[in-house]
Every structure is written in structure tokens, then in C-alpha cells.
Amino acid sequence: MLVTGAGGFIGRWTLQPLLARGFEVHAVARALPADAAAGVTWHAADLLDPSQRATLVSAVGASHLLHLAWYAEPGAFWAARENAAWVAATVGLVDEFATAGGERAVLAGTCAEYDWTADGVLGEDSPIAPATFYGVCKDATRRVVEGLAARAGVSVAWGRIFFLYGPNEDARRLVAGVANALVVGERAATSTGAQRRDFLHVDDVGAAFVALLDSEVRGAVNIASGEPVTVRSIVERLASAAGRRDLLDVGALAPRPDDPAELVADVTRLRHDVGFVPAIDLQAGLDATVAWWRGHLRSDR
């Protein structure tokens, strides 16, 4: 099997579950990671370069594809022009995978495909109306890839990622930013945090993608916990784990005007059709995240 974005935040958590299920794992990343997992065959390639991509896909000849790579610069990815290039690269990748004899592909989608102005819990059949260019590009990719795969005899599923956290997260993102600030003794300013979100530990996100790949489930599947939690509760738990509630400044930042009150997944398909149950409880996961940041203090301190 071939996994893209294998050195990324989610990708690195798919390698052990893939090996544990008996896959022969070919991992691709733009640059090979320093801590490359044993038992995995690594390939350095830029998937945005059509010739590098085609050469890799043809050489590996994988039966299974787990495509996690995409432009992911924190903050910038929502509106970046680079999303368009990833549409073309992803459609090309699936086309080449099918031509090389591929049978089963799972791709990373996003909860940003859904209409966020609708109330309540988001099921896979909830209205689609992406408000961001990232969401537009993921949604367009899914529509094209599903039709392409049906014509090319490839079974495809599309994992819609909600919110996630865990070790190695970019410190410009919420949980990592707060956890890092707290362990280095800096003030952590947040909004009031009243918005309810669906958070899943990145280890479980990776394992859920692998479970989906190893199933026969087709179409969109939410990759989430199904359990709403306020952002305030998340940051307060981080502060407690760090023993630094004094550094937490909840309400110091203005809420974003378009921020929906609730984004929570219906996880019936993931639980019942795929049979995946998360292993990491939120409290334990946040405690472990704070511990990880303690062990990875910024080198300038």
C-alpha cells in the first residue's frame, strides 16, 4: 500500500496501524523524516510534480492508497491558492493509481465541506456548502474522484476530518499553541471558547483512517469522536494538566464572527460500518499532549 503525507501530523500515526494489519507500507513524503519508522519503505517525492508522482505510483504498484497529503500551512490553508494545485494532484494521483492496478483508496476530506450555518450534528448526508476555498477544493476533489473511481473499478472512501490534537502538532494551532505556552510559562489568551467542537486525538485519527482503508465501506465517513466539547473546556483541561491555570486568559481574544456555535459529527458510519472505536479518552489525551510539550520545550528556552 502507498500512504501520502506520511511524515505529516496524521500520516505518522497511520504507519504502525498499517503494519499491524499486515500491509506492506510504502510511505511518501517530500523529505524523508529523521525518525523514519522501521518496517516502512520510504520514498521522497513531490506529489505536485506530475512526473515524480507518476513515476512513484507506477513503481510502487500498490493495491491500496491512503492519500493524506495536502497543503496544510496553519491559518493560511483555508484560503490559499495552493489548494487548487492539490485538486489537480489528487485527481491525477487517483487516475494513475487506478491505471497501475489500484483497488482501494481512502482520501482525506474535511468537515469544512459541510454547510456550517446549519444547526446540529453533521452526518455524512448533511448539506454540503463549503465556506472556504479549502472546503471548496476538498468537496470538488471528492466529487471528481468518486466518479473517476467508479469508472476505473477502484473502491473509494473519503474520511471527513473534524478537529484533532496531539503530539507534534504545529504550535500555531489551538491545542498545541496553548499547551506549548503553558509549559514554557507564557500567558495563553483565548476567546471565551463557548463553541462546541468534535475533537479526536491524532493517534485515533490515524488509526481510524487505517480501519477505513482496511474495510469495504465506500463514500464519505466522518472521522471524529461524536462527542461535543467546548473549546473552553479543552483549554481549561490543558491548564490543569500543566498546573498553570494562572496563565490562562479565557475571553481575552474576540470571537471570530463566523465561527459556528457547534461542529459535531454523527459517527454512526465510523462506529458501526467501519467498526472503529477511539482508544484515547479526551482527558488522557490532553494530559499526554501537555506531557509531550514538556518533553519538547522550545530550544530557545
Instruction: Please count the other Cβ atoms lying within 10 Å of the Cβ belonging to residue 254.
Output: 8
Residue number with CB closer to a second copy (150 or 277): 150
Decide: 181 and 298 in contact? Cβ < 8 Å. Answer: no
Q: Which residue among 85, 184, 229, 280 contacts a second copy (CB under 8 A)?
A: 85
The distance of closest approach from Cβ of residue 95 to a second copy in the complex, given in angstroms and rounded to an integer, is 6
Interface with a second copy includes 131 (CB under 8 A)?
A: no
> Pattern 133-162, binding to a second copy, x per CB under 8 A?
x--xx-xxx-xxx-xx--xx----------
Residue number with CB closer to a second copy (151 or 301): 151
Interface with a second copy includes 228 (CB under 8 A)?
A: no
Q: Which residue among 31, 51, 300, 301 contacts a second copy (CB under 8 A)?
A: 51
Cα-based angle 87, 168, 133 (whole degrees, multiple of 5): 25
Residue number with CB closer to a second copy (158 or 276): 158
User: Phi and psi at residue 154, in whole multiples of 5°?
Assistant: -105, 130
Interface with a second copy includes 77 (CB under 8 A)?
A: no
Q: How many residues bind a second copy (CB under 8 A)?
A: 28
Give the binding range for a second copy (CB under 8 A) out of 131-139, 155-163, 193-201, 238-246. 131-139
The distance of closest approach from Cβ of residue 152 to a second copy in the complex, given in angstroms and rounded to an integer, is 6
Residue number with CB closer to a second copy (104 or 197): 104
Interface with a second copy includes 129 (CB under 8 A)?
A: no
Cell of 149: 473511481
* Site residues (CB under 8 A) for a second copy, limited to 90-119: 91-92, 94-95
The distance of closest approach from Cβ of residue 139 to a second copy in the complex, given in angstroms and rounded to an integer, is 8
Interface with a second copy includes 88 (CB under 8 A)?
A: yes
Interface with a second copy includes 184 (CB under 8 A)?
A: no
Residue number with CB closer to a second copy (51 or 299): 51
Report the distance separating Cα 93 and Cα 152, nearest Å: 13
The distance of closest approach from Cβ of residue 115 to a second copy in the complex, given in angstroms and rounded to an integer, is 15
The contact set with a second copy (CB under 8 A) reads 50-51, 79-81, 83-85, 87-89, 91-92, 94-95, 133, 136-137, 139-141, 143-145, 147-148, 151-152
